[in-house]
Structure 1
Amino acid sequence: MNVPYRVLSLLRDNGPLSRAQLADRLEVPRPRLLAELDRLVATGKVLDAGPAASRGGRRSTLVRLDPGLRFAAVDLGASSIDIEITNGGLDPVASYSETADIRSGPVGILGRVSELLHKLGAKGHYTRLDAIGIGLPGPVSFRDGVPVSPPIMVGWNRYPVRDTLAREHDCPVVVDNDVNVMALGERHSGVARSVEHLLFVKIGSGIGSGMQHHGRIYRGAEGCAGDIGHIQVETEGPVCTCGNTGCLEAYFGGASLARDATAAALTGRSPALAARLAERGALTAVDVAECATGGDTAAIGLIRTGGQRVGQVLATLVSFMNPSMIVIGGGLAGLGYLLLAEIRSVVYKRSLPLATGNLPIVMSELGPRAGVVGAALLASELAYGGE
């Protein structure tokens, strides 16, 4: 048993605990626990926090994480940078978000990330960082800390993301796919708390999934498990960013939805979308959602068709993985109940009753924070010595 990691993770997830409580939960000999606590105090990770409430007899001493511990959580999207600084218990200390184009390349994007982190430090939100966790919108070699042939990240292939940030900030860094990171965040602090077999689906600029088996992320042999956006749903179809045709992502996702909404506006099938296109010059998923809420039949049809295609792929995954919960997140989760209802309808219809009889399919509780929460959790696992 990795006792130091277990101690630190218990304090992270539960707050201050007494030495007696730690001994009870860890089920290790008290002399060993006390020796490990002394080592953690010496390394500056934990502090004594005064006497605990009496349980009869001599009162035990409370132990807490050092309040100066700091983690940086970075969630990079196709068009955004989200950063959160947290304490050792993953409570947010500071946050910042801005738009950014991931296609501008790793030097510019990571340079901006470092600039923002230094600014947050200069404002007093941290003295030093104990670890950084970062999620990227593409396939990642978790072992090497680099993206691998990411379809929407031009110029990022094999770029040393982990090593670049580690040198700049003099702390350990962990890099993972953004959907894996979101799945970790949702299970730790969102609607999927303690769910053992979770399928988290991100529908944003692209589509991907994070899979947890017995509470642990399943990354596959090379780290690209869950890349469902490039599952072919039609043998003949539009060309996808990956170079193949008929992928799920080519039919539904931020760019695909904007494309189809524009076509509906230009062909006269949607007066509401046509009016918005004339006014704004371009359409987004937000326009589709708002027009659908207003009763526009073409906008409603686009969402329903997209939900059906996503449901078609998820039904296959349910039969293969048998998850205990499916959580829908990402920017297009803002399409709301109409999208969720279509996904549920197809999954429940096409999957076996044994797999769906007790299968909730729900929206993310954390919403846009899922990524930074998961990145902070990954950073803490690295700093606390998790496996």
Structure 2
Amino acid sequence: MVEDVPVHPPQTAPTPAAPTPDHVDSLAAVLDLVRSGTATTRPEIGRKSGLGRTVVTQRVNQLTDCGLLEEGPLGPSSGGRAPRELRFRAHAGVVLAAELGATSVTVGVADLAGQILTQLEEPTDIALGPDQVLGHVEELFDRLLAQVTASTGGSSTATWGIGIGLPGPVEFATGRPSAPPIMPGWDGYPVRDRLARRFNAPVWVDNEVNTMALGELRAGSAKGERDILYVKIGTGIGAGLISGGQLHRGSQGCAGDIGHAAVTEDTSVVCRCGNTGCLEAFAGGAALAREGLAAAEEGRSEFLARVLAESGTVRAVDISRAAQSGDRTSVALLTQAGRLVGSLLATLVSFYNPALVIIGGGVAGAGDLLLAAVRESVYRRSLPLATRELRISRSTLSDQAGLVGAAFMVIDELFTPERLGRWVEIGSPAGFPELVDVPLRTPVL
């Protein structure tokens, strides 16, 4: 007779308890201090964070064990044993970033410190629609990832997240464009969902001007500032607002869309949004090209007439070149555009009172002429108190601001305490696109 032996279910490891809010808050605080370079040793972390020595040691050990921090050389001694420096492992993963413009797309791969490792820019037409344009972006991402893998000796680096800047209004909560004037076929398109499925990583999508503002805040001329107005003057015109060191998107994500504010009663030009009198329709790159073409055809500019004869068209960049060569008509066009932009900015400066206004975008690269006209209008029309210490300067990141900002958008979102607590134990957020849906106790930038 065979004795019955009780059968027990296979033993499984207990599921670890989720970190408490206090735990992830202190973990994120320690990581942020090291990532930002504010503190590089355990004693410095304790002084800057107010955390006790035991808690600091525990959090540093946890972050080191999961691969986010590493030990560096010995730091300076303050009298006792020299402390060991800590370093953030920025090479632990990569972030994909893309800035989509009206006529070009720029893509890049960044490390976890926001440093662009490699990038590509290629012409495109945003009006071709999301399937064709995003398919092109995906191909470029694959190409750059292959380059990064080759440069590391064949060791693949995990994609921790993706950041996309689009040239139109974006509902940030869903990552979907909303009635974008220059993007036919994009309204409501699930940009975030498509890229999340393709690369199995969390994705954030925003208006490109917001990513440009964020890029300047994190790595450009606005670093260390708290109240900034970033203005892009390109094919279109838009603004990004930084308030109290945080990006202000508004309740739906369309804050700063100044390109379609009315600046004139002139109804002769219909804007791409369908209205008349919009700033963009009279001062944007397309408006300058339109006026430059008319000047060439009517014989009011010999320089632009030659450009038209040679190339068959006149672009905004041609007007910049003509103005720098002394062409009076082009000088007048740029000056008028600068005054229109400056007149609207004067209202915003008095209303918002920023410490810094940054002018970026393709048309903003026209030289000092446009910038001087903007400054003249702002300083003349704004309240004296609002302009007493105001600086108005050109972007230092130039055409890389949007790409850098898209990378930092992802990095900022990944390292919020709520999201960090979801993936820190496994050391990487790669493979968790659902992280974008984690609710935050305090909204990120």
Q: 1:241 aligns with which of 256, 259, 272?
A: 272
- Structure 2 matches for 1:143-292, cutoff 5 A? 143-237=173-267, 238-292=269-323
Alpha-carbon separation, structure 2, partners of 1:188 and 1:131: 18
Alpha-carbon separation, structure 2, partners of 1:208 and 1:3: 37
- In structure 1, runs of 5+ residues without a counterpart are none
TM-fit CA distance, 1:112:
1.4
Equivalent in the alignment of 2:48:
25
**SS at the partner of 1:130?**
strand
Cα distance 1:221–1:311, how it changes in 2: closer, same or farther (>3 A)? same
**SS at the partner of 1:108?**
helix
TM-fit CA distance, 1:235:
2.4
Alpha-carbon separation, structure 2, partners of 1:270 and 1:350: 31
Letter aligned with residue 357 of structure 1 = R
Of stretches 40-49 and 154-163 in structure 1, the one that deviates more from structure 2 is 40-49
**SS at the partner of 1:35?**
helix
**SS at the partner of 1:382?**
helix
Equivalent in the alignment of 1:79:
103
Equivalent residues of 1:138, 1:177 under 8 A apart? yes
Equivalent residues of 2:279, 2:340 under 8 A apart? yes
TM-fit CA distance, 1:47:
2.2
Equivalent residues of 2:39, 2:48 under 8 A apart? no
Equivalent in the alignment of 1:334:
365
Letter aligned with residue 288 of structure 1 = I
**SS at the partner of 1:17?**
coil
Equivalent residues of 1:16, 1:64 under 8 A apart? no
**SS at the partner of 1:116?**
helix
Equivalent in the alignment of 2:401:
370
- In structure 2, runs of 5+ residues without a counterpart are 1-21, 418-443
User: Normalising by the residue count of structure 2, what TM-score does the alignment of the two structures yield?
Assistant: 0.84
TM-fit CA distance, 1:325:
0.7
Q: 1:40 aligns with which of 43, 63, 68?
A: 63
Equivalent residues of 1:15, 1:64 under 8 A apart? no
Of stretches 61-70 and 251-260 in structure 1, the one that deviates more from structure 2 is 61-70
Equivalent in the alignment of 2:337:
306
**SS at the partner of 2:133?**
helix
Letter aligned with residue 22 of structure 1 = I
**SS at the partner of 1:241?**
coil
Equivalent residues of 2:195, 2:203 under 8 A apart? yes
Equivalent in the alignment of 1:95:
119
Letter aligned with residue 328 of structure 2 = T
Of stretches 34-43 and 335-344 in structure 1, the one that deviates more from structure 2 is 34-43
Alpha-carbon separation, structure 2, partners of 1:215 and 1:289: 34
Equivalent residues of 1:4, 1:384 under 8 A apart? no
Letter aligned with residue 104 of structure 1 = L
**SS at the partner of 1:269?**
coil
Equivalent in the alignment of 2:386:
355
Q: CA offsets per residue over residues 14-45 of structure 1, 9 Å max, x none? A: 28822222222222222222222233233332
Equivalent in the alignment of 2:162:
132
Equivalent in the alignment of 1:58:
81
Alpha-carbon separation, structure 2, partners of 1:153 and 1:63: 46
**SS at the partner of 1:310?**
helix
Q: CA offsets per residue over residues 306-364 of structure 1, 9 Å max, x none? A: 00110111011111111111000011111110000100111111111111111111100
How many residues align? The count is: 387
Letter aligned with residue 76 of structure 1 = L
**SS at the partner of 1:14?**
coil
Alpha-carbon separation, structure 2, partners of 1:16 and 1:94: 29
Equivalent in the alignment of 2:28:
5
Of stretches 64-73 and 291-300 in structure 1, the one that deviates more from structure 2 is 64-73
Alpha-carbon separation, structure 1, partners of 2:28 and 2:208: 24
Equivalent in the alignment of 2:420:
none
Superposition RMSD in Å = 1.6
**SS at the partner of 2:122?**
strand
